[in-house]
């Protein structure tokens, strides 16, 4: 099946030129570098979104707009509702500290003329029914709002999902551009070796015999370029993950790419080589069919 990758020395001599000649390996290396960086960014975004989603999946908050008088009743109702693992009021000082970041000192003192809602953080067991908990809390405090944290984070999660999709589309576009580059490189190689092909055909070579020579050359170029570009991208990604690139390292904390993601990234050079080989094969066969 892969015997075309290991031709005899005479067959190898039919298409001259070193393995590293021509722009194809360089082109594929650049494409692979960009593809891996974009793919890593997409996988990190997807991983980040997953982490956030999992972190808030069972977390809710009870918000009571008209003050703290009813807070104790709401907490009690929540704690007795089935499936609630914890219900903890957020201290007013903590709320004011948070608000201080946006409103300044006016939010800091208790005497400030700024009414604050009561906020109770609730965590549910995985099998709990949030609607039943909400009903129980509203029965105790009709003005209470029972809000899923995930709903509050949905704009951010939506943005992360959109960015992930954009990264996936970019990877697909880069793969398409790589395929187009391989088509051009293959056509150029066909033009360069047209005389040899004509002689081979005249002597009775089949299309498959001619195609094997080109698909091997392109496969080797693609593998060299893919591995080269991939290794450079891996180095950059390792620097980012280890915090070697300042704020990026702080942001990602090196934890957003799992083993599965790394396996996907590591398979990209192989994917590029397979893609290039198939595209080269199809291009050569199509070009040969135009001849007698």
Partner 1 sequence: MGLRYGTGGEVLRDLEFRLGAGAFYFLTGPSGAGKTSLLKLLYLAQRPTRGRISLFGEELTDAPRDVLPPFRRRIGVVFQDFRLVRHLSAFDNVALPLRIAGHGEAEVEGPVREMLAWVGLADRASARPPTLSGGEQQRVAIARAVIARPELLVADEPTGNVDAAMAQRILHLLTALNRLGTTVVVATHDLGLIAATPGSQLIRLENGNLIDPTGALKHPPVQSGTTYQPRAG
Residue 196 in the binding site for partner 1 (CB under 8 A) = yes
What 200-209 contacts at long range (C-beta under 8 Å, 24+ apart), as own/partner pairs, is: 200/14, 201/288, 201/291, 207/284, 207/285, 207/288, 207/289
Candidate segments 10-18, 108-116, 216-224, 269-277, binder of partner 1 by CB under 8 A: 10-18
Candidate segments 63-71, 166-174, 196-204, 233-241, binder of partner 1 by CB under 8 A: 196-204
Q: Which is nearer to partner 1, 106 or 208 (CB)?
A: 208
Residue 121 in the binding site for partner 1 (CB under 8 A) = no
Phi and psi angles of residue 191, each rounded to the nearest 5 degrees, phi first: -65, -45
Using CA atoms, how far apart are residues 246 and 257, in angstroms rounded to an integer? 18
Taking each helix axis as running N to C, give the angle between helix 149-192 and helix 207-241, from 0 to 180 degrees, rounded to the nearest 10: 140
Tell me how far the alpha carbon of residue 49 is from its chain's centroid. 10
Q: Which is nearer to partner 1, 140 or 285 (CB)?
A: 285
Residue 131 in the binding site for partner 1 (CB under 8 A) = no
Among 52, 108, 153, 205, binds partner 1 (CB under 8 A): 205
Measuring CA to CA, how many Å separate 69 from each of 53, 91, 147? 33, 14, 20
In this structure, how many other beta carbons lie within 10 angstroms of the beta carbon of residue 56?
Answer: 16
Residue 11 in the binding site for partner 1 (CB under 8 A) = yes
| 139 close to 62: Cβ distance less than 8 angstroms | no
CB of 282 to partner 1, least distance (A): 16
Q: Which is nearer to partner 1, 17 or 158 (CB)?
A: 17
Phi and psi angles of residue 85, each rounded to the nearest 5 degrees, phi first: -90, -30
Residue 127 in the binding site for partner 1 (CB under 8 A) = no
Residue 200 in the binding site for partner 1 (CB under 8 A) = yes
Residue 14 in the binding site for partner 1 (CB under 8 A) = yes
- Footprint on this chain of partner 1 (rule: CB under 8 A): 8, 10-11, 13-14, 16, 195-196, 198-207, 209, 289, 291-292
């Amino acid at each position: 099946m892969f015997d075309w990758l290991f031709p005899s020395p005479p067959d190898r001599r039919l298409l001259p030129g070193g393995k590293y000649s021509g722009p194809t390996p360089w082109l594929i290396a650049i494409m692979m570098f960009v593809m891996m960086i974009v793919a890593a960014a997409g996988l990190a975004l997807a991983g980040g979104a997953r982490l956030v989603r999992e972190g808030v999946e069972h977390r809710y908050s009870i918000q009571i707009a008209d003050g703290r008088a009813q807070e104790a009743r709401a907490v009690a109702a929540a704690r007795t509702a089935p499936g609630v693992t914890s219900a903890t009021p957020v201290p007013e000082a903590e709320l004011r500290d948070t608000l201080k970041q946006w409103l300044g000192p006016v939010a800091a003192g208790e005497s400030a003329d700024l009414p604050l809602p009561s906020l109770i953080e609730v965590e549910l067991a995985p099998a709990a029914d949030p609607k039943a908990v909400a009903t129980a809390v509203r029965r105790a405090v009709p003005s209470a709002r029972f809000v899923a944290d995930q709903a509050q984070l949905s704009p951010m999660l939506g943005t992360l999902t959109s960015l992930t999709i954009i990264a996936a589309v970019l990877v697909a576009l880069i793969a398409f551009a790589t395929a187009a580059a391989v088509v051009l490189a293959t056509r150029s190689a066909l033009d360069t070796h047209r005389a040899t092909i004509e002689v081979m055909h005249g002597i009775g070579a089949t299309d498959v015999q001619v195609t094997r020579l080109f698909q091997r050359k392109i496969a080797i170029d693609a593998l060299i370029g893919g591995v080269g570009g991939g290794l450079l991208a891996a180095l950059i990604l390792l620097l980012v993950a280890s915090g070697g690139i300042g704020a990026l390292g702080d942001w990602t904390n090196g934890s957003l790419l799992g083993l599965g993601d790394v396996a996907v990234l590591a398979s990209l050079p192989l994917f590029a080589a397979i893609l290039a080989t198939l595209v080269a094969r199809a291009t050569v066969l199509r070009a040969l069919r135009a001849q007698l």
